[in-house]
């Protein structure tokens, strides 16, 4: 038998899977000649069958033990093994060194460094250890990488920096034969006078009041207050909050991990203020208060609490890796149009969950089932983020160098309506230059940056097969 030009190994799961396949086919693999847990497959190239050897074995029938200190790879956690001239370290001769991925250490990269160990999160933030990084989940109104900043500016309803033209409402109540106008521009905290608040029209079944911040802001809370009209208290007892980037698509606020709209408890009399925090904070340009239960009428005075975006990093500084490599972006957040399976074998599926920058292993990238321009890989960032760039990388499939040399980027806020990143001058879809080999990082910047929850990479040109490892750059805002 001709010796295959490459060494193939497989895991035990493949073995079990394929044994059944082979015996059903009744072919050269009917009697498994592959030793040491090797898997027999047929129909590949000119050989009647080949053996996919388990880790640590090689040769036509997997009867050879892989040799060399780096084979099989003694380094754990995607560490790479380098053979070196034998050197003495203490009493031990070393023939190899493990180069560990960030966040791992030890001679064999076996120790996952706990990046939360020295408690980097301030103000009650919850720390989560990532590969080579950590993330803090900050309780409102704290923000920043370490929850070190308070996002609690009063945004200008009471102070007046939010002007009349920025405030609108579904309807307005006119009192005393139409002479009193309880307009939205009156909905300012502690507003005084006889007519001193916004009230929706009595017939309005779906009332709302909206503030246009004129740019994207981070909102961490709202202070509400009722009013009294003709000697009676009127106020909003319960309300929801919706927000929008563009004034078209609105998303109703939900608490972290909740599937139902958050209902905020509002006021209980005509004059006291009630403060509610948004947890997580809302990033938006338009914010809409939607009364759910009103006492007598939906009457409101209010203030918004929040801060400018990017308080913790200037605009140039917004280029942190968003978590493909560190796994802050979890497997569940990654999807794709399809996935390729080398030789149709499940164990060698090039899942979108493998598309993490610098991932190691035999199948260590995403690759789609077909090679055409309909394929895509998608990241759901789970909250609207500011995206400033992307790093792409190819990979090898059993020795074959594969990469994407040209791609487009699309983004969406709801996962349904997509925009493609455009050339600034010509308004045609922007084609990003991709990779030229199996390993080099290629970085592209988004100029200008964009805000999105969902990002898609659409391969446009490729070498051999569409194959991608990716990191997204940006910041939380």
Where along the sequence are the contacts to ligand NAG (CB under 6 A)?
Answer: 59-61, 63-64, 228, 231-233, 270-271, 370, 372-374, 401, 437-439
Q: From the CB of 383, what's the least distance to ligand NAG, in Å?
A: 32
Separation between Cα atoms, residue 136 and residue 41, nearest integer Å:
48
Identity of the residue, 65 or 119, whose beta carbon is nearer to ligand NAG in the bound complex: 65
CA 237 to chain centre: 35
Give SS3 for 316.
helix
Identity of the residue, 135 or 393, whose beta carbon is nearer to ligand NAG in the bound complex: 393
Identity of the residue, 7 or 401, whose beta carbon is nearer to ligand NAG in the bound complex: 401
Q: Quick one: which H or E segment has residue 244?
A: strand 232-244
Separation between Cα atoms, residue 451 and residue 215, nearest integer Å:
12
Q: From the CB of 193, what's the least distance to ligand NAG, in Å?
A: 14
Q: From the CB of 439, what's the least distance to ligand NAG, in Å?
A: 3
Q: Quick one: which H or E segment has residue 19?
A: helix 12-25
Separation between Cα atoms, residue 107 and residue 102, nearest integer Å:
14
Q: From the CB of 63, what's the least distance to ligand NAG, in Å?
A: 4
Separation between Cα atoms, residue 355 and residue 194, nearest integer Å:
62
Identity of the residue, 270 or 335, whose beta carbon is nearer to ligand NAG in the bound complex: 270
Give SS3 for 239.
strand
Q: From the CB of 258, what's the least distance to ligand NAG, in Å?
A: 34
Cis amide linkage into residue 106, ω under 30° from 0: no
Identity of the residue, 1 or 255, whose beta carbon is nearer to ligand NAG in the bound complex: 1
Separation between Cα atoms, residue 62 and residue 9, nearest integer Å:
9
* Count of residues in the chain: 477
Q: From the CB of 3, what's the least distance to ligand NAG, in Å?
A: 9
Q: From the CB of 397, what's the least distance to ligand NAG, in Å?
A: 11
Identity of the residue, 101 or 384, whose beta carbon is nearer to ligand NAG in the bound complex: 101
Identity of the residue, 385 or 467, whose beta carbon is nearer to ligand NAG in the bound complex: 467
Which residues are CB-contacts of 309 (< 8 A; sequence separation ≥ 6)? 216, 217, 218, 283, 386, 477
């Amino acid at each position: 038998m001709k010796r295959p030009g490459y060494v193939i190994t497989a895991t035990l799961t493949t073995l079990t899977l394929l044994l059944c396949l082979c015996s059903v086919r009744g072919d050269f693999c009917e009697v498994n000649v592959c030793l040491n847990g090797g898997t027999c497959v047929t129909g590949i190239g000119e050989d009647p069958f080949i053996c996919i050897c388990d880790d640590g074995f090689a040769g036509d029938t997997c009867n050879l033990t892989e040799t060399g200190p780096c084979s099989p790879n003694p380094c754990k956690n995607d560490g790479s093994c380098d053979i070196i001239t034998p050197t003495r370290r203490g009493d031990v001769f070393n023939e190899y060194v493990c180069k560990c991925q960030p966040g791992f250490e030890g001679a064999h990269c076996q120790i996952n460094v706990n990046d939360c160990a020295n408690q980097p999160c301030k103000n009650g933030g919850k720390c989560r250890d990532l590969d080579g990084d950590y993330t803090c989940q900050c309780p409102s109104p704290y923000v920043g990488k370490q929850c070190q900043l308070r996002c609690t500016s009063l945004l200008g309803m009471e102070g007046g920096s939010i002007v009349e033209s920025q405030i609108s409402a579904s309807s307005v109540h006119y009192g005393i034969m139409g002479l009193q106008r309880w307009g939205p521009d009156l909905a300012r905290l502690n507003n005084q006078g006889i007519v001193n608040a916004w009230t929706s029209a009595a017939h309005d079944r779906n009332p709302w009041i909206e503030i246009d911040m004129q740019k994207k802001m981070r909102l961490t809370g709202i202070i509400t207050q009722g009013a009294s009209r003709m000697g009676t208290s009127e106020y909003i007892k319960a309300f929801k909050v919706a927000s929008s980037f563009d004034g078209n698509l609105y998303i109703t606020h939900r608490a972290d991990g909740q599937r139902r709209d958050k209902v905020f408890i509002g006021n209980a009399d005509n004059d006291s203020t009630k403060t509610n925090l948004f947890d997580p904070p809302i990033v938006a340009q338009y914010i809409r208060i939607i009364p759910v239960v009103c006492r007598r009428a939906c009457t409101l005075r209010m203030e918004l609490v929040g801060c400018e975006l990017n308080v913790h990093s200037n605009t140039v500084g917004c280029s942190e890796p968003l978590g493909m490599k560190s796994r802050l972006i979890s497997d569940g957040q990654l999807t794709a149009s399809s996935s390729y399976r080398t030789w149709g074998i499940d164990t060698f599926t090039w899942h979108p969950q493998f598309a993490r920058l610098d991932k190691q292993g035999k199948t260590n990238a995403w690759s789609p089932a077909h090679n055409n321009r309909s394929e895509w890989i998608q990241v759901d960032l789970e909250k609207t983020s500011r995206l400033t760039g992307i790093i792409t990388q190819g990979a090898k499939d059993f020795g074959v160098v594969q990469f994407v040399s040209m791609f487009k980027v699309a983004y969406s806020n709801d996962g349904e309506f997509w925009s493609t990143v455009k050339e600034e001058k010509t308004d045609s879809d922007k084609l990003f230059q991709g990779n030229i080999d199996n390993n080099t990082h290629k970085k592209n910047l988004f100029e200008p940056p964009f805000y999105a929850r969902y990002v898609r990479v659409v391969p446009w040109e490729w070498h051999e097969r569409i194959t991608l490892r990716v990191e997204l750059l940006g910041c939380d805002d």
